[in-house]
Structure 1
Amino acid sequence: MRETLPRMEEELQEIIHRWKWVSWIMVGAGLILASRLWYLQIIHGEKLRKSSEINRLKETKIQAPRGLIFDRNNKILVDNFLDLKLTITPQYINNLEEAAKDISTIIQIAPQYIIEKVKSGEKKYGPFRPVIIKKHLTFNQVVGLKFLQWDYTGLDIQTTIIRHYPLNKNGAHLFGYLGEITKNQILTFNKKYKSRLHFQSGNIIGKSGLENIWEYELRGIDGFEFVEVDVHNRKSISNIAGLWSFEPKKPIPGRNLILTIDKDLQEKTYSSFLRKDKIGPRYGSAIVMKNNGEILAWVSYPSYDPNIFSMGLSASKWMNLAYDPTKPLINKVIQEHYAPGSTFKPIITLAALQEGLLTEQTLIESPKEFIFGRRTYHDYRKTGHGSINLFSAIERSANVFFYKLGIELGIDKIAKYARLFHLGQKTNIKLDGEVAGFIPDSQWKKKHLGEAWQPGEDLVHAIGQGFILVTPLQMAVAYNAIATSGNIVKPFIVKKITDINNKEIKSFQAEISSTINNNQIAKEHFKTIRKALKKVVHGSEGTARWWKTKEVKVAGKTGTSQVIAFSKETIHDKCQKRPLKQRHHGWFVAMAPAEKPEITVSVLTEHSCSGSSGSAPIARDIIHWYFKNKKENNKSSVLNKPAKI
């Protein structure tokens, strides 16, 4: 017994010793825990609480509206409208297969398509980016999908802004269209616009026309807001975002463009192509320009509806547009070039006048054909024209008259004077895809074709055929130079940029690129040519005499752009009986009023056989409408003028 007691005391002491260590450990752990709690609750409590609340918040982008486009009279040309779209966020969707089946009954899209689209979006953009399943939801579809949101997380109906083009096909090549940004464009645009804009995958940008060129101005800056969501990713009724001062960032709308375009004239110009005469609707282009370079109307036909890009364009529809033989996607005003034909003859005449080869009184024999070397060159008139002066030569468009001038001038002088009018070079209008056209000379042929220029080639180039290529816009600029006695204007379309409150941010003024001075072409020679061009419309033998208008005197020139060469036997055959692709293109370039021109109109109609029947009627309708409307507006302004007291 005595031996047992000491042993028990020793064991008790051991236990007490161990408990002391345990106690110290527990106290230490408690202190550590308490300090940690103190650190979390007191030092960082506010921050961590806020962080936990953030996890219940969802950041939602607020799309910025794109800037609007107005005409010169503040009439809307391009605007926006609200649209609803269905999205699925891969990370949050529960039971995708069942959801797809239920969704398909409402929006009439196959379940497998929905599943594949969600999986494809997740693979491409990650699990947190919403995948667009369907745009342009109807009211009934929205109601049905709202009920499904209670059963399936990750399902969302979002408001978006859709670009709208009220004129539909009219002006599409000028205004352009929108599309999703590509990977390469993301890098390019972020570098180009880094001072104001940021681009990312899925952004919609301007792909052509003004939408593309003026992207920086038209594009707004998206905003965002925070909303509390529940476990099903649905919006909660509480306002944690406001409680913790998560202020939304308002979107900044894009800037507006005020154009030089006259909407009413634009509509008249477009409708002028939809003719019901023996030729039918015209394919080609028309440009109406004021004498200071302001573009009043711009039409390329056939066209496309840019709204189909906003609403969603299928691959098959895109292929149909891209491979349509009539080239509806091509802006024919600046992206196609043609031989100018007889519209080139006034420039040849100016060159001959300046070089002293011709005066107003000079008579040149112009028979039905002209033999030069071993080749015979024909006139379109089987009987010829006899001995005529420059006025009759331009009025009747006598080829032999200009063959002889071409021989005297030679190609290098022809090129010199053509380039004074900026033919064969870009106008530098602020639009994408402009081609330069081409003016040849002897050095070019030697360098690029390895052949010497042949004298016989001077003849065909003197009547605007051969290697010469111009755009309809270039011809408008050239004829405007004739109208203004030498001013080469830089055509422009945007008059000013304004903000959402219509406050002017920047304006644009007319520019003269260069001036043909008196040493290059004397001013009196321009006056002579305008007098000759007036006879084309108002002379008894003018090639456009059928298309005069009572409203105003017009000066202009018809032209035929040959697409293939014809033999002596077939040259006088009826053009309309040939296959479509073998028919000539028709030109008419005009200025009005003839005495003091205000506007220039350039019309090119493809495969219409001649300028007189193909293009002149369009130009006549445009000019007639413009001056009739202007006269009526002037009368109205006088009638509405307040009376003097």
Structure 2
Amino acid sequence: MLKASEQDSQRIFTRRALMLAAGKLGLVGTLAARLYYLQVVEADRYTLLSRDNQFNLELLPPIRGRILDLNGVPLADNQDNFRVEIVREQTDDVAATLAALGSIIDVPEWDVRRVLKDVKRKRAFVPVTVVENLSREEIARVAVNAPYLPGVRIEVGRSRRYPFGSLAVHCTGYVAAVSENELTGDPVLELPDFRIGKSGIEKVHDLAMRGTAGQRQVEVNALGRIIRKLPGDEGEPGRDVRLSIDINLQRFATERLARGTAERIPVDDPRAQLALAKATPEVLAKSEAEDTILVDKDGEVVEAESGSVVVMDVHSGELRALVSVPGYDPNPFNHGLSAKDWEELLSNPRSPLTNKAIAGQYPPGSTFKMLVCLAALEADLAGPDTRFFCPGHLELGDTRFHCWKRGGHGMLDMTGAVEQSCDVYFYEIAKRIGIDRIEAMARRLGLGENLDIDLPGERRGLIPSREWKLATRGEPWQRGETLVAAIGQGFVLATPLQLATMTARMVNGGRAVVPRLVRHPTAGGRPSFPPLGLDPRDLDLMRQAMSAVVNGSHGTARRVQSRDGEPTLGGKTGTSQVKRITMAQRAAGLTKLKDQPWRDRDHALFVGFAPVEAPRYAVAVVVEHGGGGSSMAAPIAADVLLETLRIDPGTEAPLSAAPAGKPSQRG
């Protein structure tokens, strides 16, 4: 028999064993219950989670809409973007593979360093872009050598392309990568290759041109590696935008403006070689990469002119050309412009980034004088037969205001004053009507206001008034300032687009036409614009006066009179002073254009229309620091107007086609 102590020990052991067994049974039961809950009760939920882990949604960037010209020619479209990628896990030595790839195509050293850094930061199966925007020939060479390039693969995407480069950049604008402050929460914007509009039409119509992104499912493993891609929704492509400009006229006007009064000659021409032989090192550096150079009448190499040309349908407001020179190539912005190239654009004294047609603000000079006549005619303070004598100057108080013609013009009526651009005549008119009437007429004709064209960055110009001067300068208006404003100088500023609009409103019968760059095909027919309330007889008088400027025996633009068989042109020259010539310069004889630094030279302007009998197109030309409006701007405007009517003769007799690349020479 067991002793009492041993029996107690056995009972304790048995009790503990039962308790341990019960605990194990409880744990097993709890585990079984949990397994039952997960595998039976929650089976559907975890099946769904498993599938979500297996299949991911991938965004597909939409195809961006194109920008087309009047005739459907693409000014901005999309092209295949061939790129080469490398996958680290598929090659034993990334550096060696990159070296082998570099012997087949050009791989910049900085790209090699970037790739070597990226492959270390990313998972081994994630591809890293080596180079992109390769030609088909380069891609073919990579494909042929694919067996010797482990880990290298070819991918095809899409990128923006501007086939005409700088020719229409101030209309189209450009696209570039999305910056951090432009992120709105839209996941499409976070795609690495997605681009948005940064300027021009690309910016204004960005949302419509983006389209709608598509989606598709991709099957991945636990590490996130894509196993296969499944079909999905391709999304909606962006909307095309059609402009009113004609790219052929845009090209002609751009080249004609850039050429100015010089002649474009191939560099291998003996005349070009002679001009280059006496050029400065700075000029030689700019010319060495060119196929042609500009040579002036003195046989010297000159730089392309800077300025703007605007061609406008006077009835519909459609812009056939909107030129700003110089321009810049928008294509590099798509891939990322280097800091050096960006700095060169910013530091260029001729401001290629500025759209001078809508943001360049210039004193309109004598192109403003018809507006002053209309204000006087409407107020009945002057008429067609109002005559003043011009001795070459006018005295007001203790100040003498000079006419551009030192000896004066003699006795003139209103038409003769416009024809010969007599300053004294308009000083006299300004004394009668005052600044208030001048300001009111200027605003009716489109100056001093935004014209709401479909482009960002439009400037208002400046039409001064008594209230404006008091508010901005704290000074009262002076009577002498009215005289200066009457000849388009002083505080008065206008953009080339405003000058073209002013001209169109004067010659279309006095209707408040508004410039349009984007065509709206659903609008149907020619738009109707409200009348300005101007007397048709006053408008006819100004049209006849502008015709006399070109076709009269004393006209300031008579050098561009139409030849036999060509439409008759009308217009007005203008020369706006940038910096007054000092008495010391006059005494030293330094009054010629070439004697002045480029930035100190006068602006050359011309506004015109054609045909005189039935106006259809208006033009405004501004040549920055180009000198005289009659010698520089008028010949450019005449050639552009004739080319416009040759391209679109309308109801007029067709013009004989000019030889390609040989526009008529005037002045």
Q: What pairs up with 1:78-477 in 2 under 5 angstroms?
A: 78-85=76-83, 99=94, 102-103=97-98, 106=101, 107-110=107-110, 111-115=112-116, 134-137=131-134, 138-139=138-139, 143=143, 158-187=155-184, 199-200=189-190, 203-229=194-220, 235-236=226-227, 248-275=232-259, 276-277=262-263, 278=296, 281-291=304-314, 292-477=316-501
CA distance in structure 1 between the aligned counterparts of 2:538 and 2:124, rounded to whole angstroms: 73
- On the 8 A contact 2:88/2:124 being kept in 1, the answer is no
Q: Partner of 2:576 in structure 1?
A: 561
Aligned residues: 599
SS in 2 for 1:282: coil
CA distance in structure 2 between the aligned counterparts of 1:633 and 1:131, rounded to whole angstroms: 60
Name whichever of 96-105 and 205-214 sits farther off.
96-105
CA distance in structure 2 between the aligned counterparts of 1:552 and 1:477, rounded to whole angstroms: 21
* One-letter amino acid of the counterpart of residue 411, structure 1: I
- On the 8 A contact 1:585/1:606 being kept in 2, the answer is yes
- On the 8 A contact 2:174/2:197 being kept in 1, the answer is yes
Q: How much does 1:66 deviate?
A: 0.7
Q: Partner of 1:599 in structure 2?
A: 617
Q: What pairs up with 1:530-541 in 2 under 5 angstroms?
A: 530-541=543-554
Name whichever of 141-150 and 293-302 sits farther off.
141-150
- On the 8 A contact 1:340/1:465 being kept in 2, the answer is yes
Matched, 1:629 2:647: yes
CA distance in structure 1 between the aligned counterparts of 2:478 and 2:321, rounded to whole angstroms: 41
Q: How much does 1:283 deviate?
A: 0.7
SS in 2 for 1:169: helix
When residues 10 and 117 of structure 1 are mapped into structure 2, their CA distance, relative to the original with a 3 A threshold, is: closer
CA distance in structure 1 between the aligned counterparts of 2:168 and 2:40, rounded to whole angstroms: 66
When residues 483 and 356 of structure 1 are mapped into structure 2, their CA distance, relative to the original with a 3 A threshold, is: same
- On the 8 A contact 1:555/1:591 being kept in 2, the answer is yes
Task: Spell out, residue by residue over 1:485-537, the C-alpha distance to the aligned partner (whole angstroms, 9 max, x if none).
Answer: 322222221113xxxxxxx7x658876675321xxx32210011001101111
Name whichever of 26-35 and 161-170 sits farther off.
26-35
Q: What pairs up with 1:478-493 in 2 under 5 angstroms?
A: 478-493=502-517
CA distance in structure 2 between the aligned counterparts of 1:145 and 1:54, rounded to whole angstroms: 39
Q: How much does 1:117 deviate?
A: 6.1
When residues 446 and 53 of structure 1 are mapped into structure 2, their CA distance, relative to the original with a 3 A threshold, is: closer
SS in 2 for 1:272: helix
Q: How much does 1:217 deviate?
A: 0.7
When residues 60 and 523 of structure 1 are mapped into structure 2, their CA distance, relative to the original with a 3 A threshold, is: same
* One-letter amino acid of the counterpart of residue 223, structure 1: G
CA distance in structure 2 between the aligned counterparts of 1:396 and 1:35, rounded to whole angstroms: 106
- On the 8 A contact 1:63/1:160 being kept in 2, the answer is no
Work out the percentage of aligned pairs sharing the same amino acid. Answer: 32
- Which residue among 491, 515, 528 is the counterpart of 2:531? 515
- On the 8 A contact 2:125/2:225 being kept in 1, the answer is no
CA distance in structure 2 between the aligned counterparts of 1:117 and 1:367, rounded to whole angstroms: 79
Task: Spell out, residue by residue over 1:210-258, the C-alpha distance to the aligned partner (whole angstroms, 9 max, x if none).
Answer: 111111111122223233356886653xx5x65xxxx623232111112
* One-letter amino acid of the counterpart of residue 393, structure 1: A
SS in 2 for 1:300: strand
Unpaired runs of 5+ in structure 2?
A: 102-106, 264-295, 297-301, 655-667
Q: Partner of 1:499 in structure 2?
A: none
CA distance in structure 2 between the aligned counterparts of 1:259 and 1:207, rounded to whole angstroms: 18
- On the 8 A contact 1:551/1:627 being kept in 2, the answer is no
CA distance in structure 1 between the aligned counterparts of 2:389 and 2:124, rounded to whole angstroms: 82
When residues 631 and 423 of structure 1 are mapped into structure 2, their CA distance, relative to the original with a 3 A threshold, is: closer
Matched, 1:575 2:593: yes
Q: How much does 1:336 deviate?
A: 1.5
SS in 1 for 2:342: helix
SS in 2 for 1:288: strand
SS in 1 for 2:171: helix
Q: How much does 1:436 deviate?
A: 0.9
SS in 2 for 1:135: strand
CA distance in structure 2 between the aligned counterparts of 1:427 and 1:304, rounded to whole angstroms: 25
Unpaired runs of 5+ in structure 1?
A: 497-503, 637-645
Output the TM-score relative to the length of structure 2: 0.80
* One-letter amino acid of the counterpart of residue 139, structure 2: F
Q: How much does 1:469 deviate?
A: 0.5
Q: What pairs up with 1:19-38 in 2 under 5 angstroms?
A: 24-38=22-36
Q: How much does 1:285 deviate?
A: 0.7
* One-letter amino acid of the counterpart of residue 67, structure 1: G
- On the 8 A contact 1:558/1:611 being kept in 2, the answer is yes
Name whichever of 42-51 and 334-343 sits farther off.
42-51
Q: How much does 1:80 deviate?
A: 0.6
Q: How much does 1:100 deviate?
A: 5.7
- On the 8 A contact 1:294/1:510 being kept in 2, the answer is no
Q: How much does 1:55 deviate?
A: 3.9
Name whichever of 59-68 and 15-24 sits farther off.
15-24
Matched, 1:528 2:541: yes
CA distance in structure 2 between the aligned counterparts of 1:605 and 1:129, rounded to whole angstroms: 54
